[in-house]
Amino acid sequence: MEKIIIAACLLINTLAYSQQQETFEKKGKVLIFTNHDPNLNQDTKTGLIKTFFKVYPKLVKDFNPDSMDTIRVKIDTEYDGVAYAHNGRITISSDWLAKKPGDIDVITHEVMHIVQSYPPNSGPGWLTEGIADYVRFKYGVNNKGAGWSLTAYKPEHSYKNSYRITARFLYWLTKKYDKKIVKRLDKNMRNKTYSEDLWNQYTGKSLDALWAEYSKSPQIS
């Protein structure tokens, strides 16, 4: 009986903990943080919150001043992916954070998706994710601590590979052709005015021609 009572108390405490919600506010931005994992590393939690307030206002200013002011973040014990963002809400896997407690810039990638707010059928998914990882590379607080970096070029790569591979290509373009090209592509995606003609407009070359050039000389330093 005593064991049953103890187990019941633990269950009640766990359920009560899962209902806890904290609200943080700084300079007009509000973060509503819900943690369902009682074992979440405290430094990871603190890092996620600090990174949000350091990065999100910059992204709003640089990319989309109309972005929402209130963001909800949930540390989810049931989600088996890494993280995703939708409609002002970010879900991060507690399992992922347990494996990668230093990956606080996962929130940098996800808040950029909120800033992007692209409408349906606005452009290619590889570009959406490539821009988000480019932003993580440029605005990230501690990518090194997470063991995260842009993926080194390999001959079998394509700009359509998305994420860090596309992000590296975008960074190369900012160094080689147009330092504002990512912001311009982002704006076109959000306004649903994206087309492949934009690459030629911004660089004088087609997307495939740019990738071919990048493939021959992919250095970014």
Q: Does residue 7 sit within a domain?
A: no
If one counts the domains in the chain, the total is 2
> Does residue 151 form part of some domain?
yes
- CA atoms in the 13 A half-sphere facing the CB of 15: 6
Residue 145 maps to a domain: yes
Which among 145, 151, 66, 138 has a CA at the least distance from the CA of 109?
138
- Let me know if residue 113 belongs to a domain: yes
Q: Tell me whether residue 168 is in a domain.
A: yes
Cα–Cα distance for residue pair 18/35, rounded to 1 Å: 7
Give the residue from 83, 117, 151 where a domain finishes.
117
Are 155 and 125 within one domain? yes
Nearby residues of 114 by Cβ (< 8 Å), 6 or more positions away: 67, 68, 71, 85, 88, 90
Full domain range(s) for residue 221: 120-221
* pTM, rounded to two decimals: 0.91
Q: What is the CATH number of the domain that holds 34?
A: 1.10.390.10
Nearest to 112, CA basis, from 167, 150, 55, 165: 55
Pull the structure tokens for residue 11: 């269950």
Same domain, 44 and 95: yes
pLDDT tens, N- to C-terminus, the chain (221 residues) = 444 444 444 444 554 445 589 999 999 999 999 999 999 999 999 999 999 999 999 999 999 999 999 999 999 999 999 999 999 999 999 999 999 999 999 999 999 999 999 999 999 999 999 999 999 999 999 999 999 999 999 999 999 999 999 999 999 999 999 999 999 999 999 999 999 999 999 999 999 999 999 999 999 98
